[in-house]
Chains A and B, each alone.
Chain A
């Protein structure tokens, strides 16, 4: 079973803070690293994704940083808002893998 380790399990920040969520993976054959966002009672939805040929990708207030040599990638949320309160999952996959394996999830709470 492929492993991905996500941390922290939960995170509380004030509005405007920059929460950072980290993931470490084992298998270097994977070439697709997405982050999913899930609100209570809903299914997860794709937030942002990166491939290992770049070290950073930004979409709005969300940034993925990718460290291929360390086999780690992280999600940064700039100027966090209460509406960002959700559970965030990292995942990994590949064009020849056919499925995604998910991390354990991080529950983010942004206080007003």
Chain B
């Protein structure tokens, strides 16, 4: 079955530590996205990538970094510079804007808790 795999599902981190969240897709989608979900604030875009080796900042990129070395993979690093990292992180992919379809397929999410 095609889909998006996020790991780990739950992660605990001490303050001052960097942590990397994994996102892998086998949908052959061109674009990939990272959103952060907090209660009452909806989904806020962190970073997105429309092609390999290229990515753009979203609305809340500060304290985060990404890479897109392969079409299938889009890992997110939450750095120690992120002041409030405890949240539910969602990875998503989209076939590509040139296709005319804007349907996002989401993974099951990773819940990060900073102790």
Contact = CB atoms under 8 A, between A and B. Distances in A.
For chain A, which range describes its interface: under 10, 10 to 19, 20 to 34, or 35 or more residues? 20 to 34
27 contacts: A1-B59, A34-B103, A36-B104, A41-B108, A42-B109, A43-B109, A44-B90, A45-B106, A49-B103, A89-B42, A93-B102, A95-B97, A95-B102, A96-B97, A98-B31, A98-B48, A98-B50, A99-B31, A99-B33, A99-B48, A100-B104, A102-B35, A102-B43, A103-B42, A104-B40, A105-B40, A105-B42
B100 to A, nearest CB: 5
Given A43-B92, A99-B33, A104-B40, 20 more contacts: A32-B102, A43-B90, A43-B107, A43-B108, A44-B43, A44-B104, A46-B103, A46-B104, A49-B103, A94-B102, A95-B100, A97-B102, A99-B48, A100-B102, A100-B104, A101-B45, A102-B42, A102-B44, A103-B42, A105-B43
Contacts of A34: 102-103
Contacts of A36: 104
Most chain A beta-carbon contacts within 10 A, residue among B50, B103, B104, B107: B104
Interface in B72-115: 90, 92, 97, 100, 102-104, 106-109
Contacts of A89: 42-43
Interface string A7-39: 001000000000000000000000010101000
Interface of A: 1, 6, 9, 32, 34, 36, 41-46, 49, 89, 93-105
A72 B103 CA distance: 20
Contacts of B103: 34, 46, 49
